Amino acid sequence: MIALASDYLLLETASGESIPYSASMVANELASGNMELFDPEFVHHAASAVFHYFKHELGRQTMSVGEFAGALENVLRGLAVIPQVAANSPAEPCVVESDLSLLARESGDGGELIFFPRLRSELRQHLQRGPRVLRFHGLRRCVKQLAGVSRWNQRCQNLEAQIVAYLRECLSAEPGPAEVALVVE
């Protein structure tokens, strides 16, 4: 087994895949996402602090993406950047999830022609629930299903980028809550 560099953590995705990330890589991912509500430098510092806490204070080598996101949310909430939900207001769904590989399977022989309109429809349905986080998981399996391959190749890489870009475009074009974070893994 190859030793993990001292400035990296393994982040486990919902699919069970572990990906090594440094503090700056995590911060760059967050800053490049749907985070226009926050100053990129502020997000970078907050993500670096959470990363440092898990890596150096707790001595952790691995953690889930959800655990990291929850800790970062707690930090931002503690700094009063994310408003608290009033106790008497109805509970909002915090995270709404979809399985991209399931959407790809349900698209059947129609492939991408059926998949992309279904994906947009799924996004619209989720936005009606008023979530703070939209999470689409199973991207890698989805891409392989749509491409009809068992091994990752350049076409898969291109299709993966196309799906992520499509989700971002759809999210920005749809009316809905302005404070929605998009997570695609």
Residues 138-156 pLDDT 10s: 999 999 999 999 999 999 9
Residues 178 and 108 in one domain: yes
What is the structure's pLDDT at 89? 45
pLDDT for the residue 64: 80
Distance, CA of 47 to CA of 157 (rounded, Å): 27
113 and 172 in a single domain? The answer is yes
Domain range enclosing 56: 8-78
Number of domains in the chain: 2
Residue 83 maps to a domain: no
Where is the domain boundary, 16, 48, 78? 78
Is 87 part of a structural domain of the chain?
no
Q: How does residue 104 score in pLDDT terms, banded at 50, 70 and 90?
A: very high
Place 177 in a pLDDT band, splitting at 50, 70 and 90: low
Listed range (16-25, 119-128, 166-175) with the worst mean pLDDT:
16-25
Adjacency order of strands within the sheet including 8-12: 18-22, 8-12, 62-64
- Using the 3D structure, point to which of 28, 43, 78 is the last residue of a domain: 78
The residue among 48, 78, 108 that closes a domain is 78
Whole-angstrom Cα Rg for the chain: 18
